[in-house]
Amino acid sequence: MVLVLLSAWPVLAQTDDATYTVQVGDTLSQVALKYNLGIIELAAYNNLANPNLIIAGQTLRLPLHAAAVANAPADQVYTVQPGNTLFEIAAQFGVRPARIAAANQLANIDLIEVGQTLLIPASASSVGKPAFLPAPFQAIGFSEERIAQGRTLIISATLTTSATMTAQFEDRPIFLTGDGRRYWGIVGIHALTDVGVYSVGFRATLPNGTQSAVAHNIVVVAGDYHTETITVSSDRENLLDPAVISAEAEKMRFIWNQVSPQPLWDGPFGYPVADARITSDFGTRRSYGGGPVNGYHAGTDFGGNGQPIYAPAAGLVVLAEPLNVRGNAVLIDHGLGLFSGYWHQSHTVVKAGDMVAPGDIIGYIGNTGLVTGPHLHWEMRLGGIAVDPLQWVQERIPF
């Protein structure tokens, strides 16, 4: 598949860089904090094999936007508003929470008060500004530079010469595909990710073994999620047993960790039901039986009873069997670490090993497993992380 970079995506062009000379007592984390960079980002710019090993007198390369942070003449002041958290304030200004905490000598970043005045380090944001791109990187792009919890982030990279490329979001791999010169990839942003600034790193390895790396920051912002209370009937309360839930989750994690190397889908996903009547949204924070809010809804629920369920995109059926919590279940592998699940069916009509095309019937809406009534729970997992299924219906991924 050939990648076409979307002009609407922010693209980082190649520029010159600045430098910093390591001082006695410096650590890489201190230098990164000073210039509003992630440690991964700073290590990537300098091809550091061991980020814990820097020495006085060593010259570190800095992107121009980082130099601007250090030379900015004025800071900003922000007054804490009701409902604010430090992570939300950090995301608003595009600065890492640790920089605000350090600037204000906050011993506990979870403890800020309404009316409190915070010093925001000047020109803190590095998001959306140009960064140095070492050869062979020609351009990198992001579907979103500010992305809500629970969404799928799409990244792209164009190289000047053929190379093998890897990418990661903080410490998690991004699943890539490409032709050696043009790559694209996807990574899930967990619905409970702390809001704030995160690093996306890219590494290219040339045929002669030479490596080059670059990184860029994105901001994760809060999703628009509400809270709901779930009341389970007495005959199904046993399915809330942590041992039952844990055993089934382990089985699912084993499957979700299998990554097929190529995408099997093409174009936007369809809805899995003809009547797309949503009864519970993805990401909703949940309380069971009036207890504490201790989880979130990992899929989108559709009302119904007995209606057919359709495959929304091409893929390989990797599970079709009854489960305790998920009831009669079907799981489809769409490639690149992307899976879709269909829980609580009355019965299924596919089996593991079947290839399905968009619109194929895979089963029927039912009332099995941990449910309060008949419905379809539709779930999308990317690298084991639940992401909003409706994004895949409403957008063409990767382009």
Of 223, 250, 274, the residue at which a domain comes to its end is 223
The C-alpha atoms of residue 224 and residue 350 are separated, in whole angstroms, by: 35
β 211-221/196-205 pair status: antiparallel
* Judgement on whether residues 213 and 245 belong to the same structural domain of the protein: no
Of 208, 223, 238, the residue at which a domain comes to its end is 223
* Judgement on whether residues 211 and 293 belong to the same structural domain of the protein: no
Q: Is residue 40 one of the residues assigned to a domain?
A: yes
Q: What angle do CA 384, 387, 389 make, to 5 degrees?
A: 125
* Judgement on whether residues 111 and 16 belong to the same structural domain of the protein: yes
Residue range(s) defining the domain that contains residue 336: 227-394
Of 203, 223, 243, the residue at which a domain comes to its end is 223
Task: Quote the tokens at residue 289.
Answer: 């039986």
Residue showing tokens 């009302």: 303
At residue 115, what are phi and psi to the nearest 5 degrees? 90, -15
Q: Is residue 99 one of the residues assigned to a domain?
A: yes
Q: Is residue 42 one of the residues assigned to a domain?
A: yes
* Judgement on whether residues 68 and 187 belong to the same structural domain of the protein: yes
Q: Is residue 193 one of the residues assigned to a domain?
A: yes
* Judgement on whether residues 237 and 305 belong to the same structural domain of the protein: yes
* Judgement on whether residues 216 and 241 belong to the same structural domain of the protein: no
381 in Cβ contact with 334 (< 8 Å): no
pLDDT (tens place) for every residue of the chain, 399 residues total: 333 333 334 444 444 557 888 888 888 877 876 776 667 767 877 888 777 788 888 998 886 555 544 444 456 788 898 888 877 777 677 666 767 777 777 877 778 889 898 888 754 434 443 346 888 998 888 888 888 899 999 999 999 999 999 999 988 999 999 999 999 999 999 999 988 888 898 999 999 999 998 888 888 888 888 887 776 667 776 766 788 888 998 999 999 999 998 999 998 899 999 988 899 899 888 766 666 666 788 999 999 999 999 999 999 999 999 999 999 999 999 999 999 999 999 999 999 999 999 999 999 999 998 888 899 999 999 999 999 999 999 888 986
Q: Is residue 399 one of the residues assigned to a domain?
A: no
- What total number of domains does the chain contain? 2
* Judgement on whether residues 111 and 199 belong to the same structural domain of the protein: yes
Q: How far is CA 389 from CA 152, 249, 364, 367, in A?
A: 9, 19, 19, 21
CATH of the domain at 78: 2.60.40.1930
pLDDT for 232 equals 67
pLDDT for 162 equals 97
pLDDT for 4 equals 35
* Judgement on whether residues 284 and 384 belong to the same structural domain of the protein: yes
* Judgement on whether residues 309 and 180 belong to the same structural domain of the protein: no
Q: Is residue 101 one of the residues assigned to a domain?
A: yes
CATH of the domain at 325: 2.70.70.10
* Judgement on whether residues 234 and 166 belong to the same structural domain of the protein: no
β 146-148/211-221 pair status: parallel
pLDDT for 337 equals 96
* Judgement on whether residues 213 and 295 belong to the same structural domain of the protein: no
* Judgement on whether residues 140 and 237 belong to the same structural domain of the protein: no
At residue 350, what are phi and psi to the nearest 5 degrees? -120, 170
Q: Is residue 93 one of the residues assigned to a domain?
A: yes
pLDDT for 371 equals 85
Q: Is residue 232 one of the residues assigned to a domain?
A: yes
* 3-state per-residue secondary structure call for the chain: CCCCCCCCCCECCCCCCEEEECCCCCCHHHHHHHCCCCHHHHHHHCCCCCCCCCCCCCEEEECHHHHHHHHCCCCEEEECCCCCCHHHHHHHHCCCHHHHHHHCCCCCCCCCCCCCEEEECCCCCCCCCCCCCCCCEEEEEECCCEEECCCEEEEEEEECCCCEEEEEECCEECEEEECCCEEEEEEECCCCCCCEEEEEEEEEECCCCCEEEEEEEEEEECCCCCEEEECCCHHHHHHHCHHHHHHHHHHHHHHHCCCCCCCCCCCCCCCCCCCCCEEECCCCEEEECCCCEEEECCCEEEECCCCEEECCCCEEEEEEEEECCCEEEEEEEEECCEEEEEEEEEEECCCCCCEECCCCEEEEEECCCCCCCCEEEEEEEECCEEECHHHHHHCCCCC
